[in-house]
Amino acid sequence: MSRNSSNEIEVRVPSMRATQSSIQPVDSTPPHTTTTIGGSAAAPSPIVYREVKYFKKWFPWLFPFFVLANVIVFIVTMYVNDCPKYSVSCLAPFLHRFSFQPFKENPLLGPSATTLEKMGALQVNKVVHQHQGWRLITCMWLHAGVFHILANMLSLIIVGFRIEQEFGFVKFGVLYVISGFGGSLLSALFERSSISVGASGAVFGLLGGMLSELIMNRTIYTDSIGHVLGLIVIILINLALGILPHVDNFAHIGGFLSGFLLGSVLLIRPQHGWVSQRCLPPGYSSDLVKPKFKTYQCISWIVSLVLLITGFTVGLVMLFRGVNGNEHCSWCHYLSCVPTSRWSCDTQPSSCLYDQLGNQVNVTCQSNGRSSTYYSPNMTNSQMQNICAQLCN
């Protein structure tokens, strides 16, 4: 069919990262032509712009909801913690029941480990032996302290805004929750002796999704290699910080891998040639019919989906059978913590001996031998556990 119209059409496709990337021009714009009427050239028709649904901008509302939900859960956790009631000493006592545990017990300015466990922290024994699998989800909404939640929420705001704006709340929500679950699953397989909380696994999943999106849709960016390398450097720096003690790097790695594979499934974009053909008005035709996706995109989509399903299935089976991942990988614990002369990677739970005589209680930590004497007529079990944690830390 010949082109029998002189209207000029342009398909406008917004860039995903407008400040750094630009979308390559669509190649289906017909050449500029003019028509003559009565021997004189007529003015060209105005350019018509269309917003392509595959590249539309979304209004981001879900990621602020996730931020608000994390903050509310942290406030509720501090309310339940009630440090003045269950601990001998507290930090910032003017906050009353919202005051923090002593700095030696929790340097992140937050609740006690007992409270976090009560609120739904990831604890492998409870997941495996007490059938509390819901902890794999609830732990990603809890945080160990003010510094912890500030770091995670700042990262969520920066990364979450861009992904939800470009791909919508459904894909963003699925990517966030599934990545957080993947981080919890890998953590449960290797972190056997301590509790784990935090949204960092989900945040790393968003970073993994961004990386896979850049790789899968690299043809629509003018400098895709530079953006990929820059994002890889950011991810590697954050993973390197995970080798410090008391940081659950397995949650970071599990979240990143889950997000990377899921991003290859959810964040794939059609190539521009196919989009241009779909947006041509009546009377226009293209001599070459282009497929919606490139071959490497289709192969990556299938491989990523298979790996994602297989990984989650195998991981869940191993977890609920009580398999300890460290027994099958003797060096994997170095991925989460590397011992040095400045710190130890020993994460064994605190254990103390209690000797009570009247209102006097002598507490001795079995791991380091430190002891202290406290005077309390009615010391509860929670208070004794908190005292033990302070001595052993």
The CA distance from 76 to 135, in Å, is 17
b/e burial code for range 131-163 (CB count within 10 A of at least 16 → b): eeeebbebbbbbbbbeebbebbbebbeebbebb
Which is catalytic among the residues 227, 252, 272, 333? Answer: 252
Q: Which two tokens stand for residue 257?
A: 């891998």
SS3 60: coil
Task: With both helix axes pointing from N to C terminus, report the angle between 295-320 and 169-190 in degrees, rounded to the nearest 10.
Answer: 40
3 state DSSP class of 322? coil
Least Cα distance to 259 among 331, 298, 211, 193 occurs for: 211
Closest CA to 175 of 61, 73, 63: 63
Backbone angles phi, psi at 92, to 5 degrees: 60, 60
Annotated catalytic residue within 28, 112, 187, 200: 200
Is 252 among the residues known to form the active site? yes
Please identify every residue annotated as catalytic: 200, 252
